[in-house]
Copies of this chain bind each other. A is one copy, B any other.
Amino acid sequence: MAGNNKTPTMLDVARLANVSSMTVSRAFKRDASVGKETRERILKAADELGYVLDSTAANLSSRKTGFVAVTIPSINNANFADTLRGMSQRLRGSGLEILLGYTDYSVDEEERLIEQFLRRRPEAIVVTGGTHTDRCRKLLEHSGVPVVETWDLPAKPIGHVVGFSNAEAAKLMVDHFVERGYTRLGFIGGDTSRDTRGLDRRRGFLEAVKARGLDSSRLIASGPPPITMREGAASMREMIARWPDTQAVMCVSDLSAFGALTECQRKGIRVPEDIAIGGFGAYDLAEHAVPAITTIDASAKAIGTHAADTVLSLLSNPESTDVRMVTRITPKIIARQTT
């Protein structure tokens, strides 16, 4: 019946089922030792009262919240969404839930978020990237729970890592372009310190281009993240205006690469005949676009499953407090635009 003026507690259930509240508590656990008949009676009583376990109290008592705090830069990003999907798929059934926050590509926002999350006493923390404010680092280091940094290979990791070198990954694209015979290469995006992964890709591109003695000046800034199709298109416009003889362009992500592609299409520039375009992230979009866009697959979803595995492994081996787990992903190029 509706109209109860108070949410029932275990004690209410216990009284109705003629047991102690302790037995009710046990009845709500899978493995607990409760008489079959007793349990049924209890669950029936609970149902009758509309009782719902209060994990807020359970958390306090058991000092376990079942939370894994996760921060990602942006929710509107297929790559991070994939990582998240991988993580929550792997976490399903483990009793762990994700407490999600997004930083909007800001380390200050990340600090604020982590500080908030820490109050909730998560059992593990998964963050994106290896760059944080000093205070945030300190908070994470002293959190007392496993910390996993993802999507990067930090020089001085806080705890555990599931990631790859964005600089190395970008070099794959330069290799690919050079193999195709392109020598005048440009890069779009990755110009702001807010997106350290983008910055690393740009750096990797530059290093590879310089190592081959090619022109390393063809860089277009796209401004602060998130870099969308719009910025990709605008940057391509600028690229063509400034260096009309550019043969191939790498974009910081598939989203901007698609924007760049559409800009070419509007201008009647043929891709890849007049100019080839590469992106990053292996978005569906890159596969389906006509022409398809060459890209680099960093296994976004696998990053999530590995991060989850790391957490699960660490939490089930509470002894291993001085272990550092590093899972290194190997990005692969997906060559398209085969003229």
Contacts and interface: CB of A to CB of B under 8 A. Distances in A.
Interface of A: 2, 7, 50, 52-60, 65, 75-76, 78, 81-82, 84-85, 88, 97-102, 115-116, 118-121, 139, 141-142, 144, 228-230, 233, 258-259, 262, 265-266, 284-285, 287-290
Q: List the number of copies, as a whole number.
A: 2
Contacts of A2: 141-142
A144 B3 CA distance: 10
Contact of A85 (B65, B76, B142): B76
B57 A229 contact: no
B52 A56 contact: no
A2 B56 CA distance: 29
A54 B142 contact: no
B56 A60 contact: yes
A40 B57 CA distance: 31
Given A60-B57, A78-B76, A84-B75, A229 B259 contact: no
Given A55-B119, A82-B76, A288 B233 contact: yes
Contact of A60 (B60, B139, B287, B289): B60
A264 to B, nearest CB: 9
A285 B288 contact: no
Contacts of A7: 144
B284 A266 contact: no
A98 B113 CA distance: 12
A319 to B, nearest CB: 15
A139 B141 CA distance: 40
Nearest to A80: B75
A133 to B, nearest CB: 16
